[in-house]
Amino acid sequence: MTGTAILFLLISAAIIWGGLALSIVRLRRDGGADEGQAPHDL
């Protein structure tokens, strides 16, 4: 592979896969639903 292609592969991976990793870390930190509460009925 050329140096430019490798650079863009790395940049793409860092932004997109890195973005996914950061989102997951943020989600784990934020937490989610209150598990004890049921959603309301229709």
Partner 1 sequence: MSDGTTASAPVAETGAPREQWSGQLGFILAAIGSAVGLGNIWRFPGVAYENGGGAFLIPYLVALLTAGIPILWLDYAVGHRFRGAAPTAFRRLFKPAESLGWFQVAISFIIATYYAAILAWALAYAWFSVDLAWGDDPAGFLFGEFLKASDEVTVGFDFVPGILAPLVIVWGLALVIIASGVKRGLERANLIMIPLLVVMFGSLVVRAVTLEGAADGLNAFFTPDWEALTDPSVWVAAYSQIFFSLSIAFGIMITYSSYLRRKANLTTTGLVVGFANSSFELLAGIGVFATLGFMASQAGVPLAELGSIKGIGLAFVAFPQILSTMPGGPVFGVLFFGSLALAGMTSLISILQVVSAAFQEKLGLSVRQAAVFIGGIAAIISILLFSTTTAVPLLDTVDDYVNNVGIVLSAVVMCVLLGLVLRKLTELQGHLNARVGVNVGAWWKWLVAAIVPVVLGYMLISHAVELVTKGYGDYPSWFTTAYGWGAIALSVVASVLFAILPWRRPVDDFVPDALPELASTGRRSA
Q: Which residue has the tokens 């990793």?
A: 21
Convert residues 2-41 into a mask of x (bound to partner 1 by CB under 8 A) and - (unbound).
x-xxx-xx-xxx-xxx-xx--xx-xx--xxxxxx-xxxxx
What tokens appear for 36 in the block?
A: 């004890």
Q: How far is the CB of 27 from partner 1 (least distance, A)?
A: 4
Sign of CA dihedral 7, 10, 13, 15: negative
Q: Which residues are at the interface with partner 1 (CB under 8 A)?
A: 1-2, 4-6, 8-9, 11-13, 15-17, 19-20, 23-24, 26-27, 30-35, 37-42
